[in-house]
Structure 1
């Protein structure tokens, strides 16, 4: 072959042929058109989505935001019995006054009982009658009512027989309320006592602070000791308060509806085994029949402040502190300044109730009991929460389904339904840590 000439079957001859160059140009034009289309879609799509998508909760822009209000307040005078709804309540070091002051004691098993063992406790409805200074207990629709003193004197309490009640990690002293045992046995079918917490007995401490406040290291030693010290809680399991949000309950209800209608776990996963879909399908038109907030037994229920100041379901997991503006506060600037775009400075600790959110609440079989009917269903809500809300309680340990957050108060005062709530977000470096 002469120098400079190419064989017809030489690969280089093919690359330099007019046909190949035409084909290469065609592919290049297609690629260019694709890139231009992708660029155009990337520019237009976000704008279109912003117009068509439903309004989302405000993005976190500051550490402090005024985005919530007090929606409900609940106290549970008798542990595991029905809750009592309040319009206002006084925050004390140990939580609400009268919260879990009484407990039902199983004489044969020698232990305090809860909804886990005895679902029918949900049918015992306490009423706090401050006018007559009595606690009234009614069982379901029965006309039989048990009335006991709200505030027996220390001298009177000392005359009642005492029992030590083991709790989680410690215990408390309970006094056997006279004339209550026969009433309980009549409705539960076995020998029981009603015990009243004795404040003269062992002082109970709340559980440790699993998640310290953002600014913990800057606190004075005295302040740390005050927040971590013994609080004198009564028959609560762990902490003075449990806080939950309507947004999280709504998300869980939606998960249940989707699980029933789509034959999934409600979040796109495999169906939940042994879920009674027929039963739950019949309840989908009644939100409380689906899932009542009372299954979770919170003390304070929050909801979004309004349509412009809101938050997402389960955001409470990442809140560090709440400041509740008192309804009777003279610091009007705290309310007036909260125009949703200027929420950068919270109310002072002197003009607000301060709650530190220090642990997520790992849920147990207690939540499987319907608070209205005492019916027990081990799949709802626990099976749903195990799919969507499993969180590590301790690194390297067993996971647990979580709903709600525990709180300890640093200040005292009155809280009312409708009060505004400022939230401080947990430092990003601390989000998701601990329990």
Structure 2
């Protein structure tokens, strides 16, 4: 499109194995049916209410470090004052099935183990389960889905992938009181371009990535909750409610949902099995308008 930059580079890749805990920076990742490999396949759930637990209610989840040991097939969780917890990276001996509501969807999870439940219960301070996404119960995404695309999701809020760009983050940082990183917005794929304008990604509908030129559909803006207000260093909500207070003055931009602060774009791959690398080239192939006329 005239006046826009159509050649970008993958500057960062992140997977978040446990929803609302720290992410893992990657050099490469396989694109699976539910997003980058291992992304949001585990989640904490309140044992009494059955509701999923996030940094919105428990900002201390930002202190849980997650590491992936593929050689030993282990996902390890570490947190201040806690011994390490290890769970199987590819679990085969799963516990009871637990239905949990993730926004507008009922998603089936499986309890990992009694030890895992005890660990997350101790950290959160009330009875909590650690669930693994039930692989036998796929969660299909039905809203804002383009033709020739049948996305699934694990425990992500909606779509399997989330994309942000460095020019847009730089613009936000020029307008808010404290410096933010991409991790405040929890993207899977960060794109960079030395001369692009902020928010060009909001007019994309399809991009191609890497030598295979695999297609990634850009499906909608990402409406933001309060999680960017978490001080990631200490695991507490900022008392000044920044950056969201400032962002409300310039990022309520979606014509269908003008009351939502938006940053980043939801995305879904056309087909899976490709590998994405930091440094991959990205070409914008199709443009269009986005409008959140119904909730994600």
Task: Indicate the residue corresponding to 2:261 in structure 1.
Answer: 401
Q: Do 2:50 and 2:101's aligned partners in 1 also have CA atoms closer than 8 Å?
A: no
Quote the offset at 1:234 in angstroms. 1.2
Task: Indicate the residue corresponding to 2:87 in structure 1.
Answer: 148
What is the distance in 1 between the residues matched to 2:142 and 2:264?
Answer: 16
Could you say which structure has the higher helix fraction? 1
Task: Indicate the residue corresponding to 2:165 in structure 1.
Answer: 245
What is the distance in 2 between the residues matched to 1:359 and 1:293?
Answer: 18
What is the distance in 1 between the residues matched to 2:16 and 2:59?
Answer: 15
Task: Indicate the residue corresponding to 2:105 in structure 1.
Answer: 170
Relative to the length of structure 2, the TM-score reads 0.91
Quote the offset at 1:109 in angstroms. 2.8
Q: Do 1:82 and 1:371's aligned partners in 2 also have CA atoms closer than 8 Å?
A: no
Task: Indicate the residue corresponding to 2:10 in structure 1.
Answer: 70
Moved more, 143-152 or 112-121: 143-152
Quote the offset at 1:434 in angstroms. 4.7
SS of 1:256 mapped into structure 2:
coil
Task: Indicate the residue corresponding to 2:181 in structure 1.
Answer: 292
What is the distance in 1 between the residues matched to 2:155 and 2:237?
Answer: 23
2:278 aligned with 1:389? no
User: Quick check: which has more Rg, 1 or 2?
Assistant: 1
What is the distance in 2 between the residues matched to 1:410 and 1:106?
Answer: 34
Task: Indicate the residue corresponding to 1:187 in structure 2.
Answer: 123
What is the distance in 2 between the residues matched to 1:325 and 1:189?
Answer: 45
Select 1:321's aligned residue among 206, 209, 212. 206
Select 1:236's aligned residue among 156, 173, 187. 156
SS of 1:390 mapped into structure 2:
coil
Quote the offset at 1:398 in angstroms. 5.1
Q: How many residues align?
A: 290
What is the distance in 2 between the residues matched to 1:206 and 1:373?
Answer: 34
Give structure 2 stretches of 5+ with no counterpart: none
Q: Do 1:207 and 1:238's aligned partners in 2 also have CA atoms closer than 8 Å?
A: no
Quote the offset at 1:66 in angstroms. 4.1
CA deviation profile, 1:231-284 (whole Å, cap 9, x unmatched): 332111110101001111111111125xxxxxxxxxxxxxxxxxxxxxx5xxxx
Give structure 1 stretches of 5+ with no counterpart: 1-59, 213-223, 258-279, 281-289, 327-350
Quote the offset at 1:424 in angstroms. 3.0
- Distance 1:66-1:316 versus aligned 2 partners, 3 A rule: closer
Q: Do 1:243 and 1:300's aligned partners in 2 also have CA atoms closer than 8 Å?
A: yes
CA RMSD between the two structures: 2.0
Quote the offset at 1:295 in angstroms. 1.1
What is the distance in 2 between the residues matched to 1:87 and 1:138?
Answer: 22
Quote the offset at 1:166 in angstroms. 1.0
Task: Indicate the residue corresponding to 1:61 in structure 2.
Answer: 2
What is the distance in 2 between the residues matched to 1:111 and 1:66?
Answer: 41
Select 1:414's aligned residue among 275, 281, 288. 275
Q: Do 1:363 and 1:401's aligned partners in 2 also have CA atoms closer than 8 Å?
A: yes
Q: Do 2:254 and 2:262's aligned partners in 1 also have CA atoms closer than 8 Å?
A: no
Q: Do 1:242 and 1:405's aligned partners in 2 also have CA atoms closer than 8 Å?
A: yes
- Distance 1:393-1:433 versus aligned 2 partners, 3 A rule: closer
Task: Indicate the residue corresponding to 1:130 in structure 2.
Answer: 70
Relative to the length of structure 1, the TM-score reads 0.63
Quote the offset at 1:200 in angstroms. 1.3
Task: Indicate the residue corresponding to 1:108 in structure 2.
Answer: 48
Quote the offset at 1:406 in angstroms. 0.6
What is the distance in 2 between the residues matched to 1:375 and 1:168?
Answer: 23
Could you say which structure has the higher strand fraction? 2
SS of 2:65 mapped into structure 1:
strand
